[in-house]
Amino acid sequence: MALIQDHTADQPAGGLMPSGSAYHDQVVARQRRGRAWAVIFQAAMLAGIVALCALLLNILNQSFGYVAIVNNIDPGELADNGVPLDKLPKDELVDILEANISAGLMRRYEHDMPFAQRSRENVHELILERVVEPQVQATWGLFDSIFTRGSVFAEAEERFAGSEVYFRSWLTTSFISKSQSSEPLRAGVRTAIFGSLWVVAITILFSFPIGVGAAIYLEEYARKERLLNRLIQTNINNLAGVPSIIYGMLGLAIFVRILEFFTSGAFLGIGDQSTANGRTIISAGLTLGLLILPLIIINGQEAIRAVPSSLRQAGFGLGATHWQVIWHHVLPSAMPGILTGTILAVSRAIGETAPLVVVGASTFIALDPSGPFSKFTVLPIQIYQWTSRPQDEFRNLAAAAILVLLILLLSLNASAVLLRNRFDHSRATA
C-alpha cells in the first residue's frame, strides 16, 4: 500500500489511482527512475572491476620498465681484445678480478671457496659485484617506457650523463633464485619463498588435524543443548572476526616469550645459538595456525553438514560404530569440501603480514632457513620492507615480489576452485 500512496500523494484528489495522461506520465517517470538507478548499480559494479584492474596494472607497471644505470667501471674497458666480458673464459675473469680488487678481499673469497672450484658464472658475478658496481640512478614504469620512450631517454641523458639506459624486467629467474641483498639489482626472494613454505607447512601440520577434529566434534558428537558446546561454537564464530594483529600479539607473548625454551629449539639443543630466542619459523607457523583455525573449522563443519544423513544411518544400520561411520563414510565424502576450505584458509595464511611482523620476522637474512627453529622472513614481509624504503628501485623489487606472491596465491585458489567444481560434478552425476 505504501508504494501506491507514495506515488499518488501529489496527484489531484478523486480516486486512489491517477488516470489518463497523469497515469501515463507517472509510469514513464517511474520507469525512467528505474533505468537511472540500474545504471548506477552497474557503475558500482564497474567501479569494483576498475579498482581490481588499476591494482594489477599498477603492479605490472612497476615490475617492468627502463632503468638508468651508472657503472663504476665500464664493462667495455674490461673487455679483452674485443671479447666482451660475458664471453671471456674463467681464467681471464679471475685475472680481471685480481687486478681490480684488493689482495685481502681476494684472499677472503679464496678462503670462502677456492677459485679453482668456483664456476665461471660465479666469478663473473663477483666481477659485476665488486668491479663494475652498477648503481641504479632512476627507474621508469612500464607505461612511461612504452608510450613516452623518447622523453625517458632525454631525461636520462640530461640528469644522469654517462648512464646506461636499458629495459629491465624486475621479475626474472635470478630474482627468484637469489637471496636477499642490499643491492637492488642483485636482490632476490629465494629466502623469503623458502621461509613462506616452511611457515605454511607448520601452519598446515598444526591447524589441519585440529581444525578437522574440532569440526567433527562439533558436527558429529557435540550435543547442541549443552552449554559448553554452544560456547565453543559461538567462540569460534567470534574468533574468526578478531583482527589478525591480535593473533600476532598472542603469538609474541605465548610462543615467543613464554614457550621460548621450546620454540627456540633450545630443548633439543639444535637452535641457532646466535639468535636463541623464540622468533623462529615454528612460532610464526603456530601463530598463523591459530589464526586460520576458525576458518578451517567453520568450512569443515559446512562440509560435514552437507553429507546426507542417510549415509550415516546406513552405516549404523550395518552395525558400524560411531567412529567407523565417521572415518569410513562421513569424512571421505566431506573431504573435497574440507580441502577446498583448507586451501582458501592457507592462502590467507600465505598473504598474512601483520601478525608475523609482531611475532618478529627478521629484517634481513641472506641464508635459507635450515629448519623450524631458524630465523625467518616470508614473502609479504619482504614486500613490506621493500615498500617502506624510500628509493624507487626497492618499490620495483616490491612489485616483482608481489607478482610472485599473487601467482602463488592464484594457483592455490585455482586448485581450490577446480577441486570444488570436480566435486560438484561428481556429486551431480552420482
Rounded CA-CA distance 267/125 in Å is 41
Residue closer to other proteins (CB basis): 102 or 238:
238
* Least distance (Å) between residue 413 CB and other proteins: 6
Which of 373/386 has CB closer to other proteins? 386
Question: What are the backbone angles phi and psi of residue 14, rounded to the nearest 5°?
Answer: 125, 35
Minimum CB–partner distance for residue 31 and other proteins (Å)? 6
- Give the span between the Cα atoms of 87 and 154, in whole angstroms: 31
Reading the block at residue 181, the C-alpha cell is: 641483498
CB of 300 to other proteins, least distance (A): 10
CB nearer to other proteins: pick between 54 and 99: 54
Residue 205 is placed in which grid cell?
A: 601440520
Q: Shortest approach of other proteins to residue 119 CB, angstroms? A: 36
Shortest distance in whole angstroms from residue 17 CB to other proteins: 10
> If you write DSSP's letter for every residue of 253-281 in order, what string do you get?
IIIIIITHHHHTSTTTT-S-GGG-SS-SH
Q: Where do the H-state alpha helices sit in 101-251?
A: 103-112, 120-127, 142-147, 149-159, 173-177, 190-216, 227-239, 244-251
Whose cell is 614473502? That residue is: 379
CB nearer other proteins, residue 102 or residue 421: 421
Nearer to other proteins, 49 or 103 (CB): 49
Cβ count within 10 A of residue 407: 11
- Of the pair 90, 348, the CB lying nearest other proteins is at 348
Contact 340, 416 (CB under 8 A): yes
Provide the minimum distance between the beta carbon of 425 and other proteins in the complex, in angstroms, as a whole number.
15
